Structure 1
Amino acid sequence: MILHRPTARTALALTAALSTQPAWAAAGETSGVNLTAIGLFLAFVVLTLWITWQAAQRTKSADDFYAAGGSITGFQNGLAIAGDAMSAGAFLGLTALVFTSGFDGLIYAIGYTTGMPIVVFLLAERLRKLGRYTFTDVVCARLAEGPVRVFAACASLVVVAFYLIAQMVGAGQLIQLLFGLDYLYAEFVVGVLMICYVMFGGMVATTWVQIIKAGLLLAGATLIVLLVLAAFGFDFGALLARATAVHPKGAAILAPQASAKDPLSALSLGLALMLGTAGLPHILMRFFTVPDARAARVSVFWAATFMNYFYALVFVLGFGAMTLTAGDPAYIDAAGALRGGGNMAAIHLSHAVGGNAMMGFISAVAFATILAVVSGLTLAGASAVSHDLYAGVIRRGQLDERSEVRISRMATFVLGLIAIGLGIAFKGQNVAYMVSLAFAVACSSTFPVLLLALYWRGLTTAGAVAGGTVGLLSALGLTLLGPAVWVKVLGNPAPVFAMDPPTLVTLPLALVTCWLVSRLDRSAQGASDRARFEAQQAA
């Protein structure tokens, strides 16, 4: 790659961009508060609450609450799925990772985008044909319902918990930066709004907030990228040259570094990101919101298109933040860290290129991004409790829809409180990294069971539950013993298990356990499981 030196015009543009007043010292502020940003932020919150109120008028049944009555089109669902992917982990976390590490941050983006084609080729059509509300319905179509629902609900809740951490941390830092609130209070603000969205609006509200948010985020990110490139005369080489000049690691940021130091962890991360998408409960739920299997395929086409475009923008966002905010006391504190926390690179960049109005718009969209994803996650967790555990296992299907929705709303409230606690416990963690841990757990638990249930006639209930449980417990245990929790949260000097994430160990372990237990299963239930698969194939 040939790097060009910035031209005189580029230097002048860069100087002008850097001279933009910081968010807490610009016109229109009082006592350091960005009134423009807060106004746009509150306007967006009001809009999403109005959407929730409208959706509540349409949410009359369990089908409406869990799957929007199957009324979402393929294009709409594709945009909503892309909205799920363009979470705080993607927009805030990936930009921050590129800002900090350069090319290494893009490994996450590559993993996210390659995961979506896997979903369409392996799962989307079959999910829509066999399922009703959750992926567990699909597995139960050929395996014994009770044990499978217990396992699937537990796995879903663990995945949702890890994914929630990333969103809650990003939201807390954003509210803290904008309003000057203590991080603790910021977490409660996010949690209360999220509970309102899901309890009253269900999947209809969650989907439409995602659609609107995704469109605005794509438009806002595109505008920021154009302004960043304009500061360098639309010379991408000049942008990279400036980035290498200001970053302590110099030209090394343009090449992979972490993967060379720890290739096994890099391979494990890539495996988790590519295959984990196919095990995320809040993504899989979206295939039940469309009317048929064809719409499910169309959904994934549009989702992959929007996601690839967005992650291409993240590359410029990260390097743009590196060049336009690094070293500026408006955005960097005395210790050299980003003001407001390590995940705020994209927010500071929006101010650097567009002032208060752009920062307010991007902050509002970023917050809506977090709320929409958190709402989808909470709905997936609540459905695991109400539909899979309570209605399917405890009441054995003998539960009317009104009671099931009521239980789901109660579960939403409890999950909201749990999300607040997790956000407080994991304060300061990079949100893209925390998302990768959710992918790792999903890749080792729900994904292998779902894949084998759809494609291997030999899978039995005993094999699925044993393999999924082994994958879940090993992924959870090794994650707790790894750098993410053992060192960064619990404060120990070194991890017990160094591979991060542990997918390279836990996914094969889950698959082998599923295969071995199923092959050894000679029970009547095992024979019934194999026969049901043959019947499904014949149909």
Structure 2
Amino acid sequence: MTSSSLVTSALATATVPAGGDVGEPVVNIAIFGAFVAITLTVVLRASRNNRSAADFYAGGRAFSGRQNGIAIAGDYLSAASFLGIAGAIAIYGYDGFLYSIGFLVAWLVALLLVAELLRNTGRFTMADVLSFRLKERPVRMAAAISTLTVSFFYLLAQMAGAGGLVALLLGIDGRAGQNLVIAIVGALMVVYVLIGGMKGTTWVQIIKAVMLVTGAGVMTVWVLAQYGFNLSDLIGAAVAAPGSAGEALVEPGGQYGATEISKLNFLSLALALVLGTAGLPHVLMRFYTVPSSREARRSVVWAIWIIGIFYLFTLVIGYGAGAIVGPDAIRGAPGRVNSAAPLLAYQLGGPVLLGIIAAVAFATILAVVAGLAITASASFAHDIYASVIKKGEVSANAEVRIARITIVVIGAVAIVGGMLANGQNVAFLVALAFAVAASANLPTILYSLFWRRFTTRGALWSIYGGLISCITLIAFSPVVSGKVDPATGASLSMITDPSVDFSWFPLENPGLVSIPLAFLLGWLGSVTSKETGNEKRAAEMEVRSLTGAGAEKAVEH
């Protein structure tokens, strides 16, 4: 069959089903149930060896670099990575693939600047590194607030996405049904983390990563087979599909570059994505699950390979959706661009393949929210409760008990927040999480690791300055209010009323402003501080971060 005839045939059958008619809900529920049963069994087995704080927070540091690398990929590749990027490529082509490049390049920053040094210096959380040679209580509090903020917004986006996506695939209509799905996802998250700790969470992430890469790989081969394994024919079919952007699919400027503001938008987003990854708390915490700095480096290398291969798959899946399903059908689906991959699965393999992809999407959401929950609970219990409130005078068992209570609270907050955000534009929540991580966390981490003159004032100014400026600029940006579709007049902002407009910051991501500002504040706070610093502690941190000497001794205590 030629490319053109395949496209014509596919578009003839690519009617967009209603929300309750996507695939077979019974098949989807059965696959979901099988996934939950398998992962719960794994979590229960993993929980048998949870006896200490190191077991609960860091999985007993018993994971190899390969295992941790696979888990990092499972933690990092969210539903937005799978569904959002595939949809962006289907509609925008070249510009959509730039997201994949940004997410992948970000790991080089993590590998070269953060992974090994962080593993050598800290114990359980990012705040362990930041407070190593500075005044512990104020720095830990600031780092914990930043961690909880990033985790909350990332968690909120995943929960809200779960409501719309899973409810669609299970044939559940109405807001009440979607809220029920959010509650179920939140409850499962609490169970997984409460029982399994980091060990159980890691194994869920490993299973999810294998499912995600395998599912994407099957779809990639299936799509390429329709075009004789010729990528040029596939892209040509996507370009020729009715409703597509035509030749613009293979040229830059489809989504960004039409105006000066859109160019700055892309630069700001790219800066946040590339630098934000190395400051994401739930990613950084994974480096503590390996026994040595060498394994930390190996884990990042494994993660880069897996993530890189996956993003190559999204290129084929995205163009395949554009060619086989068609841009018009994707835009008209309930989830719009996020429906590209599920609709492609339905066209290729019917209800069974859709059910498998639905289970992959469900596993993706569940694994990510579990990783975020344990990170947030560890930050509160280890940094705020044990170090700030109790001033270090607390047993490991009491600390873990507080962490478990925190997980239940986080689960309840995430469920309520996901219900409130359900149906809203949640893309800005993920962008905010990356922007906050790049603004508040990364400058302070780099200054702490590489600049001896860095002081407590510099750390506080950098963290709070980056955090406040980032959230303020997002609140007054077009992603919250004032962005209107010129063709339809409908609001494209979080506030759906197009008449409401209080935006004055023109960019949709604040990274271009808030990230340099955080670096500047960290430098300014340090050079204007009278704090002389602890030279002995600074020298110890430098030696430990570069060589790992003394790191294991610190872990034992």
Task: Report which stretch shifted further, 303-312 or 46-55.
Answer: 46-55
The answer to whether the 8 Å contact 1:71/1:289 transfers is: yes
Question: Which residue in the other structure is 2:395 paired with?
Answer: 400
- 1:447 deviates by 0.7
Question: Which residue in the other structure is 1:166 paired with?
Answer: 157
Partner of 1:398, secondary structure, is: coil
- 1:189 deviates by 1.4
- 1:430 deviates by 6.4
The answer to whether the 8 Å contact 1:88/1:431 transfers is: no
**Distance (whole Å) between structure 2 residues aligned to residue 223 and residue 15 of structure 1:** 23
Q: 1:347 to 1:468 in 2, by over 3 A?
A: same
Deviation digits for residues 356-383 of structure 1, max 9, x if unmatched? 1111111111111110011001111111
Unmatched segments (≥5 aa) in structure 2: 483-492, 545-557
Question: Which residue in the other structure is 2:95 paired with?
Answer: 104
Q: 1:197 to 1:326 in 2, by over 3 A?
A: same
Question: Which residue in the other structure is 2:277 paired with?
Answer: 277
Deviation digits for residues 475-497 of structure 1, max 9, x if unmatched? 01111111222342234346221
1:67 aligns with 2:58: yes
Partner of 1:498, secondary structure, is: coil
Deviation digits for residues 315-347 of structure 1, max 9, x if unmatched? 11111112222278xx66xxx521355422211
Among 514, 523, 534, the alignment partner of 2:522 is 514
**Distance (whole Å) between structure 2 residues aligned to residue 104 and residue 430 of structure 1:** 20
Among 442, 446, 450, the alignment partner of 2:445 is 450
> AA paired with 2:2?
R
Deviation digits for residues 108-167 of structure 1, max 9, x if unmatched? 211111111111111111111111101111111111110011101110111112211331
- 1:97 deviates by 1.9
> AA paired with 1:107?
L
Deviation digits for residues 160-181 of structure 1, max 9, x if unmatched? 1221133123321222112222
**Distance (whole Å) between structure 1 residues aligned to residue 30 and residue 477 of structure 2:** 42
TM-score w.r.t. the length of structure 2 is 0.88
The answer to whether the 8 Å contact 2:91/2:245 transfers is: no
Among 244, 250, 256, the alignment partner of 2:252 is 256
> AA paired with 2:30?
G
TM-score w.r.t. the length of structure 1 is 0.91
Q: 1:173 to 1:339 in 2, by over 3 A?
A: same
C-alpha RMSD of matched pairs (Å): 2.3
> AA paired with 1:460?
T
Question: Which residue in the other structure is 1:3 paired with?
Answer: none
Among 121, 126, 136, the alignment partner of 1:130 is 121
Among 3, 10, 22, the alignment partner of 1:10 is 3
- 1:241 deviates by 2.1
Partner of 1:486, secondary structure, is: coil
> AA paired with 1:513?
L
- 1:209 deviates by 0.8
**Distance (whole Å) between structure 1 residues aligned to residue 26 and residue 467 of structure 2:** 46
1:532 aligns with 2:523: no
- 1:464 deviates by 0.5
**Distance (whole Å) between structure 1 residues aligned to residue 6 and residue 229 of structure 2:** 11
The answer to whether the 8 Å contact 2:273/2:434 transfers is: yes
1:97-496 map, 5 Å: 97-181=88-172, 182-245=177-240, 246-257=242-253, 258-260=255-257, 261=259, 262-326=262-326, 336-340=331-335, 342-428=337-423, 434-487=429-482, 488-491=493-496, 492-493=500-501, 495-496=503-504
> AA paired with 1:500?
E
- 1:250 deviates by 2.1
Task: Report which stretch shifted further, 467-476 or 337-346.
Answer: 337-346
1:89 aligns with 2:80: yes
> AA paired with 2:526?
S
Task: Report which stretch shifted further, 14-23 or 497-506.
Answer: 14-23
**Distance (whole Å) between structure 2 residues aligned to residue 433 and residue 109 of structure 1:** 17
**Distance (whole Å) between structure 2 residues aligned to residue 58 and residue 22 of structure 1:** 51
**Distance (whole Å) between structure 2 residues aligned to residue 497 and residue 11 of structure 1:** 45
How many pairs were matched up? 521
> AA paired with 2:252?
P
- 1:451 deviates by 0.7
**Distance (whole Å) between structure 1 residues aligned to residue 515 and residue 23 of structure 2:** 50
Q: 1:11 to 1:174 in 2, by over 3 A?
A: same
Q: 1:374 to 1:314 in 2, by over 3 A?
A: same
The answer to whether the 8 Å contact 1:131/1:138 transfers is: yes
Deviation digits for residues 1-20 of structure 1, max 9, x if unmatched? xxxxxxx4334544665677
Deviation digits for residues 69-103 of structure 1, max 9, x if unmatched? 00000000011111122111100121122223222
**Distance (whole Å) between structure 2 residues aligned to residue 77 and residue 101 of structure 1:** 34
- 1:420 deviates by 2.0
Deviation digits for residues 194-241 of structure 1, max 9, x if unmatched? 111111111111111111111121111011011111122222222222
**Distance (whole Å) between structure 2 residues aligned to residue 325 and residue 154 of structure 1:** 44
> AA paired with 1:105?
G
> AA paired with 1:360?
G
**Distance (whole Å) between structure 2 residues aligned to residue 473 and residue 420 of structure 1:** 25
**Distance (whole Å) between structure 2 residues aligned to residue 34 and residue 22 of structure 1:** 18
**Distance (whole Å) between structure 1 residues aligned to residue 89 and residue 224 of structure 2:** 17
The answer to whether the 8 Å contact 1:93/1:430 transfers is: no
> AA paired with 2:70?
L
The answer to whether the 8 Å contact 2:151/2:433 transfers is: yes
Q: 1:433 to 1:103 in 2, by over 3 A?
A: farther
**Distance (whole Å) between structure 1 residues aligned to residue 14 and residue 106 of structure 2:** 41
Question: Which residue in the other structure is 2:548 paired with?
Answer: none
The answer to whether the 8 Å contact 1:227/1:353 transfers is: yes
Deviation digits for residues 493-513 of structure 1, max 9, x if unmatched? 462211121111111111111
1:11-50 map, 5 Å: 11-14=4-7, 33-50=24-41
Partner of 1:528, secondary structure, is: coil
- 1:281 deviates by 0.3
1:76 aligns with 2:67: yes
